[in-house]
């Protein structure tokens, strides 16, 4: 795709058509006495395109009486003057669904560009642009985006995406963030007026609705939605940080029942996103497949909510090394360091006690004096002593637990079937749209003098030393990603090896750009992965402040599957699919904390049919 692709629908066009300025703030109540009568308050959007149908979306309300229902009509046409309609109908909306409108416009022609609009009386919405999917071998251009945090920066990426020509925009999640003002934002950005609404952490249906309404006042996001159909999946922040099927890291008991919060978040998502609703989506199942002509099946997965087991953390789940102590009746317990001697003793008399080790150039020796062990204060260890992680036990029994799942049994079975159906049709490419990195990422062995700890809220020298040790033990960096679910990953990659022709994983979540050759448990390369940077959420540079080039070198050195990483910049990824090649072109914006910015072109990676590797 050319950098000079013609403008499809610009930010300025959207602002002008809506009659708004950059201070647009219609979230649920009039902003002045002049804000009365019927308004389409949050633009238009389309999504979930198929060959003969597409979802159309808007929000319509009477600002003089927000309690009443609104009746209107919709139109879709292959011509911008709407003289010949490809479809039309009526709609009804009101407070029950937050005044949002969603139409499944059907009976359309495949591979066709359409214009659409909504009308209530003599009030007409902005005209949106959308496309149906092709049914032939037309090349496909997709914009891949994720992670847009309103309080962390401007949505320049959406504005750039709106200017370019795409078949669709694939959003891999974190469309909104749930935090209270000041919880996860940038003070420089807050000072420019990008503040949370509501100001508290969002918990209820009304809270989530207000947060979506805030995000959809952003002119760049409005422009992107009006210019292209979106294909969306959620990640964690659409509910709460680090969600899993029964809870979340950012949910506590005093915030109420998690399932009620999740249900409210899901409902608001369905109201505000142009996603096709069904009995499945009502049950929280949004995994689905889009046939991109004859070249590709786009298979969208949910790696967060429907089947995911609780994520592991090193702080809670990493066992420390123990020493066997023999507890004989009426005797002081004695350490037994020889496993052969332990085996000779009655099992009931042996207890494995977590003890610190004396670290020296000669190795690590456990504390064996029971009188010292029994009064030990873990927070005030004797000089030279440290607890040592039991990496083999963690890798085998905890991290390697074969029962742990990322997708859940039902979704795993569905995914296997979708791969097989695509392969049976001789579709060259199986594109897997999901949230988390599936490529293996090691822990970079940066030294303390290479890191500016004063610039990080997340890590200090002591913690970095701990992580370096974990990396030297062969443990992964990010347990929240597929690295934290290796058995589940092995099952998915085995399915790909058996049931796919050429698999390409897409990923978001990390806020950085990545690329991997993905190998299965036997070491065979079975897929590639291409990951998009975040739109505005801060990335690796905020977690580990160091020279960017040095960080990238350190990551590549400890991650053999990794073929590319950008550890510093926000942006997006263009994905081009032909019958024999899939290419990723990364683009980056120079800043998200200021209104003015520049776009730079990153590298391009591609994979050829039959190779399962990147070039």
d(CA 543, CA 458): 6
d(CA 319, CA 353): 11
d(CA 9, CA 497): 41
d(CA 241, CA 531): 20
DSSP-based three-state secondary structure for 153:
coil
Task: Identify how many contiguous H helices and E strands the chain contains and give both numbers.
Answer: 16, 29
Closest CA to 537 of 284, 217, 215, 62: 215
Per-residue exposure over 112-126, b if at least 16 CB sit within 10 Å of its own CB, e if not: eebbbbbbbeeeebb
434 and 383, same structural domain?
no
Last residue of a domain, one of 132, 165, 191: 132
Q: Quickly count: other Cβ atoms within 10 Å of residue 367's Cβ.
A: 18
412 and 357, same structural domain?
no
Q: How far is CA 515 from CA 109, 529, 585, 600, in A?
A: 36, 5, 11, 18
Q: What is the pLDDT of residues 539-579, one digit of tens each?
A: 999 999 999 999 999 999 999 999 999 999 999 999 999 99
DSSP-based three-state secondary structure for 208:
helix
Last residue of a domain, one of 90, 112, 132: 132
- Residue 325 belongs to a domain: yes
497 and 372, same structural domain?
no
402 and 453, same structural domain?
yes
Per-residue exposure over 284-316, b if at least 16 CB sit within 10 Å of its own CB, e if not: bbbbbbbbbbbbbbbbbbbbbbbbbbbbbeeee
- Residue 287 belongs to a domain: no
404 and 335, same structural domain?
no
Q: Alpha helices of 425-478 — where are they, by DSSP H?
A: 461-472
- Residue 547 belongs to a domain: yes
- Residue 261 belongs to a domain: no
H/E element, 323:
strand 322-326
Handedness of CA 345, 351, 352, 354 (dihedral sign): negative
- Residue 427 belongs to a domain: yes
477 and 332, same structural domain?
no
Q: How many structural domains compose the chain?
A: 3
- Residue 540 belongs to a domain: yes
- Residue 242 belongs to a domain: no
- Residue 439 belongs to a domain: yes
Residues of the chain with pLDDT under 50: 1-8, 15-34
Q: What is the CATH number of the domain that holds 101?
A: 2.60.40.380
Q: How far is CA 464 from CA 22, 446, 452, 471, 537, in A?
A: 42, 9, 12, 10, 23
User: Looking at residue 3, what is its pLDDT?
Assistant: 40
DSSP-based three-state secondary structure for 311:
coil
557 and 532, same structural domain?
yes
d(CA 47, CA 168): 8
410 and 381, same structural domain?
no
Q: Residue 472 is part of which domain span? A: 398-566
β-strands 581-589, 599-608 pairing: antiparallel
Contact present, 583 and 604 (Cβ < 8 Å): yes
d(CA 216, CA 210): 10
493 and 383, same structural domain?
no
Last residue of a domain, one of 543, 566, 589: 566
507 and 364, same structural domain?
no
Q: What is the CATH number of the domain that holds 549?
A: 3.60.21.70
483 and 355, same structural domain?
no
User: Looking at residue 30, what is its pLDDT?
Assistant: 30
DSSP-based three-state secondary structure for 410:
helix
Contact present, 54 and 46 (Cβ < 8 Å): yes
Residues recorded for the chain = 615
Cα angle: 603, vertex 609, 615; to 5 degrees: 25
370 and 482, same structural domain?
no
Beta-carbon-side half-sphere exposure of residue 106 (alpha carbons within 13 Å): 2
**Secondary structure (DSSP) of 243-278:** EETTEETT--GGG--HHHHHHHHHHHHHHHS-----
Structure token pair of residue 116:
């659409």
């Amino acid at each position: 795709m050319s950098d000079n692709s013609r403008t499809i629908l610009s930010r300025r066009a959207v602002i002008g058509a809506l009659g708004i300025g950059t201070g647009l703030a219609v979230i649920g109540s009039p902003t002045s006495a002049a804000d009365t009568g019927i308004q389409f308050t949050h633009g238009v959007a389309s999504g979930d395109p198929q060959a003969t149908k597409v979802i159309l979306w808007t929000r319509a309300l009477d600002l003089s009486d927000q309690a009443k229902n609104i009746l209107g009509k919709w139109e879709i046409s292959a011509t911008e003057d709407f003289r010949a309609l490809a479809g039309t109908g009526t709609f009804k909306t009101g407070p029950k669904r937050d005044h949002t409108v969603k139409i499944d416009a059907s009976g359309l022609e495949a591979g066709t560009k359409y214009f659409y609009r909504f009308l209530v009386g003599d009030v007409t919405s902005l005209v949106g642009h959308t496309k149906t999917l092709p049914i032939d071998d037309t090349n496909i251009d997709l914009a891949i985006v994720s992670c847009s945090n309103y309080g962390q920066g401007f949505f320049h990426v959406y504005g750039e995406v709106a200017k370019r020509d795409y078949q669709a925009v694939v959003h891999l999640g974190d469309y909104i963030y749930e935090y209270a003002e000041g919880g996860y934002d940038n003070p420089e950005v807050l000072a420019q007026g990008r503040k949370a609404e509501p100001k508290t952490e969002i918990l209820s249906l009304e809270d989530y609705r207000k947060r979506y309404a805030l995000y959809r006042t952003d002119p760049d996001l409005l422009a992107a939605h009006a210019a292209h159909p979106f294909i969306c999946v959620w990640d964690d922040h659409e509910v709460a940080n680090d969600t899993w099927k029964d809870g979340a890291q950012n949910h506590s008991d005093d915030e109420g029942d998690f399932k009620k919060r999740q249900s409210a978040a899901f409902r608001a998502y369905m109201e505000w996103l142009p996603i096709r609703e069904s009995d499945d989506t009502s049950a929280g199942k949004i995994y689905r497949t889009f046939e991109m002509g004859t070249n590709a099946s786009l298979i969208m997965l949910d790696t967060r909510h429907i089947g995911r087991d609780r994520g592991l953390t090193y702080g809670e789940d990493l066992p420390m090394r123990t020493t066997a102590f023999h507890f004989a009746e009426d005797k002081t317990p004695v350490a037994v360091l020889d496993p052969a001697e332990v085996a000779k003793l009655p099992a009931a008399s042996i207890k494995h006690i977590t003890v610190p080790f004396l670290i020296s150039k000669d190795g690590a020796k456990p504390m064996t004096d029971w009188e010292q062990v029994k009064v030990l204060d873990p927070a005030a260890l004797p000089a030279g002593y440290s607890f040592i992680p039991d990496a083999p036990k963690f890798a085998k029994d905890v991290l390697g637990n074969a029962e742990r799942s990322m997708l859940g049994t039902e979704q795993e079975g569905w995914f296997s079937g979708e791969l097989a159906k695509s392969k049976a049709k001789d579709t060259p490419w199986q594109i897997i749209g999901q949230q988390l990195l599936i490529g293996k990422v090691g822990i970079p062995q940066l030294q303390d003098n290479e890191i500016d700890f004063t610039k990080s809220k997340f890590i200090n020298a002591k913690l970095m030393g701990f992580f370096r040790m974990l990396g030297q033990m062969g443990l992964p960096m990010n347990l929240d990603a597929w690295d934290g679910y290796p058995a589940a990953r092995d099952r998915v990659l085995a399915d790909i090896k058996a049931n796919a022709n050429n698999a390409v994983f897409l990923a978001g979540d990390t806020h950085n750009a990545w690329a991997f050759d993905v190998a299965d448990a036997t070491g065979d390369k079975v897929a590639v992965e291409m990951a998009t940077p975040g739109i505005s959420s801060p990335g690796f540079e905020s977690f580990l402040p160091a020279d960017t080039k040095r960080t990238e070198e350190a990551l590549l050195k400890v991650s053999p599957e990794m073929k590319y990483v950008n550890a510093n910049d926000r942006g997006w990824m263009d994905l081009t699919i032909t019958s024999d090649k899939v290419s990723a072109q990364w683009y980056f914006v120079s800043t998200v904390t200021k209104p003015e910015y520049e776009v730079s072109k990153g590298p391009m990676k591609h994979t050829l049919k039959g190779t399962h590797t990147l070039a």
